[in-house]
Amino acid sequence: MNAITLRVKHAPGFRVDGSKLLPATLAAMSRTELPRIVLQGAGETCALGDLFDIALEQSDTPALTIEGDAPWLDRIGASMTEGTLTVHGDAGDHAGMKMLGGELDIRGDAGAFAACEMQGGRLSIHGDAGDFAASALPGDMEGMTGGTLTIHGNAGARLADRMRRGTVLVAGDAGDFAASRLVAGSVCVGGKVGAHFGYGMRRGTVLLANPPSRIPPTFTEGGRGFDVFWLLFTRMLAREIAPFSQLAGTTLPRRYAGDLAVDGRGELLIANS
């Protein structure tokens, strides 16, 4: 089994679909087959060897590394089931789309729709993420349904829109309509949050590490008896991402329920308030 390293030679003049670049798929291919892989672009095609220098070494597990910024390479890790995929640079749109398993680690920024409709595995973005992270594709009814998305920078608008299961952690700020139409799962924001957060939220948990400028009028304060949950929840967060480590062992946050405009039974927790 091979571990593959792809080093960016030059950027094409169009966006490229990188969904074929999966660790388990490439690990079984030979040194002569890899450069001939055809990637689809916007009305054009290109060969893998035209875009990347390719290096192989033996490995016990499937692994793929992309070195260099590739913001033009979309759908990295889409439908991935196993192995590790590491990007040392920026990635394009739809990174980790419908991901089922394995680990995708982006050491730069990611475009829009990162982890959209993700079902399992782990996606870590060490820079910023664009709009609609962990959300549904246009026209679909369900966003993320499993797995863990960790964003060490900021997230754009509509974070976790229509999310049904899983965990989303953002160390920095989140844009407008964060956790909008949330059905279930946990969404945690370490920085500031934009307007209309929790809009149309039905269930699930939203944790804000810092008080927002305004509580939505369709959320009502109240709720006791979640001491054990808070202790276990903050311990888990402290292991995942640095900004939440300060919450471990702190006093209980303020708790709100909503969005009552849709008979929501969601939970909004606001720490440090």
The pLDDT profile of the chain, 273 residues, written as one tens digit per residue, is 778 999 999 889 899 999 999 999 998 888 899 999 999 988 899 999 999 999 988 878 899 999 999 999 999 999 999 999 999 999 999 999 999 999 999 999 999 999 999 999 999 999 999 999 999 999 999 999 999 999 999 999 999 999 999 999 999 999 999 999 999 999 999 999 999 999 999 999 999 999 999 999 999 988 766 778 888 888 888 888 877 877 866 678 889 998 999 988 899 999 876
| Residue-range domain boundaries for the chain | 1-63, 75-270
pLDDT of residue 90: 97
Q: Is the dihedral of CA 157, 89, 153, 201 positive or negative?
A: positive
Which pair of structure tokens corresponds to residue 248? Answer: 């471990």
Which pair of structure tokens corresponds to residue 82? Answer: 């196993």
pLDDT of residue 273: 62
- The rounded distance, in Å, linking the Cα atoms of 15 and 263 is 42
Identify the CA nearest to 144 among candidates 126, 131, 161, 127. Answer: 161
pLDDT of residue 30: 86
Alpha carbon 205 to chain centroid, angstroms: 17
Which pair of structure tokens corresponds to residue 32? Answer: 């002569």
On whether the CB atoms of residues 258 and 201 are closer than 8 A, the answer is yes
pLDDT of residue 227: 79
On whether the CB atoms of residues 220 and 209 are closer than 8 A, the answer is no
